[in-house]
Structure 1
Amino acid sequence: MGAFFTASLCGIALGLVFWRLGLPGGPVVGTMIGTAAYQLFTPVKAITPNGMDLLVQLAAGILIGLSFNRELLHIAQQALPWAVGAALALIGLGAGLAWILDRYTGIGLVTALFGLAPGGVTGMGVLAQAEGGKPALVGVFHTVRILLTYLLVPLLGRLLRQ
């Protein structure tokens, strides 16, 4: 349990530094990098306590749920067909890229498909395992995607806003 707290403190410290520097997605990206650095460079590996993933998911659900309002639902209703089309396009693109990735690296089509699919790292890892893929490798793909998305999308948003 001590390693978990130490890893968490490393993550929180870097998350706060990134936040203070105003980096896009700073708290999340910094925390991920700080915690990952602990895991990679120390001999004692931290283990997530039972129930922590549930607690984080519940907190995220509360945070997102509190942002809902009637105006948002009206806008979402108009955008829903576009969201469905975009999701299907991304899944199709991911399937094509998964086939290419498997062909050239041999990581397995199921692993590549779940690694490139839009979705959350935990959900895709569980689904990949259920379908015979490699959940840890799927997790690597999604972690890279999340880090890049949290860094690049806010930058793109700032550029487009100007």
Structure 2
Amino acid sequence: MLTRLSFALIWKTALLLAIGAGGGWSALHLGLPLPWMIGGLSVSAALVLMPWRLPVLDGYSFPMGLRTLFVTLIGVMIGTQVTPDLLSLAGKLPLTMGFLFVFVLVAHAGNFAIFQWLGGYDRATAFYAGTPGGLMESIMMGEASGADIRALTTQQFLRIIVVITVLPLGLSLWLGEAVGSASGAVLPGGDVPVSLPSLALIVITGGLGLGLGRLVKLPAAQLTGPLLLAGGATVTGLVDLHLPVWLIAAAQLVIGVSLGLRFKGVTGRMLRNSLGLAVVSVVYMLAVGAAMAWVLTQLTGIAFLHLLISFAPGGVAEMSIVALSLAANPALVSLHHVARILMTVVEMSLLGRWLRP
């Protein structure tokens, strides 16, 4: 039986998602890339940043279980895109991973300078706010080192939000036309009608992958577990999964609304200062990533767009959706983002020792 608390959580979440869907619908008709994610994010952020408090937000926290569910489905989506073509890139991966490690070091060093000198943050806050990944790990290590957790958390979430907003829009402006889902592109098989048994198989695959990922302690297990399981099943021909467009849109919406609600409790002044720093930081990291992607394109022949998205410092789930929407190689992109987070966690664990009290 539903308790009064759980019923309130359900109807509030449904209402916020419905409002976010209105923003997504508007973004779709404006021709924006990732419309459901950007639209849902914008509307939910506007709700929590209003000068007056909305009753629906009193004591509300977005259910992370729902977000995890859709992240597992994103993992399945990406796994269905694993093809023998990805395996043919195995010989080039050591080079791209080497460049990625250099990217982590250069991006973190530049961000440290931006947040300390331009933002005026203390050394610990600037160090952990500037990591190009590992959001939760940076918050935990930053707290142990005496960093300003509110500023650190705000900068880390803004890093992800600015990347997933600026990158698709920037690509649209650079190419002079809409890209990915905004141009009407869909994944192979995405426009094929999906039966209830197929949908059930998708959910089961996601659940099994999540369980296996957590069992063997994979990084970002909610995404990588389903990805590996669905990828293995797809490559071997055991199953032929096609995920509908509406499911990808729903995943965008849930991720976008949950991100926008992260601004709850942030003051307007703090947001303005943090947002300006985040834009400078993200533009710097994207410029470094673009330079490395261009060099790697010359050396490996991998498409520049795929490498650029692989080096963009957003969250794993968020960047995987960007890759899916922009018709990049989602499996290649996800692999590099998981590696980026692992490299960042190791790097800040080693270098962060000099900041500990």
Please show how residues 1-162 of structure 1 align to structure 2 within 5 Å: 1=9, 2-41=11-50, 42-44=53-55, 45=57, 46-75=60-89, 77-119=91-133, 123-124=134-135, 126-132=136-142, 133=147, 134=149, 135-137=152-154, 138-157=156-175
Q: 1:116: Cα distance to partner?
A: 4.0
CA RMSD of aligned residues (A): 2.9
Identity, in percent, stands at 21
SS at match of 2:89: helix
Displacement after TM superposition at 1:61 (Å): 0.8
- List gaps (5 residues or longer) in structure 2: 1-8, 178-303, 306-357
Where do 5+ consecutive residues of structure 1 fail to align? Answer: none
**Deviation for aligned residue 1:83:** 4.5
Q: Name whichever of 60-69 and 46-55 sits farther off.
A: 46-55
Deviations 1:78-133 (A, max 9, x none): 255124304522541332232232133233444444444433xxx41x11221124
Q: Distance in 1 between matches of 2:113 and 2:100?
A: 20
What is the TM-score with the length of structure 1 in the denominator?
Answer: 0.76
SS of alignment partner, residue 32 of structure 2: coil
Question: C-alpha offsets along residues 7-61 of structure 1, whole Å, 9 cap, x if unaligned?
Answer: 2112122112212332122222112112212222352324212412321221221
| Larger RCO (alpha carbons 8 Å, 6+ apart) | 2
Note the C-alpha offset of 1:66: 1.2
Matched length: 157
TM-score by length of 2: 0.38
- 1:90 and 1:129, CA in 2 relative to 1: closer, same or farther beyond 3 A? closer
Q: Which letter maps to 1:75?
A: L
CA distance in 1, matches of 2:66, 2:35: 22
Q: Is the 8 A contact 1:7 1:34 kept in 2?
A: no
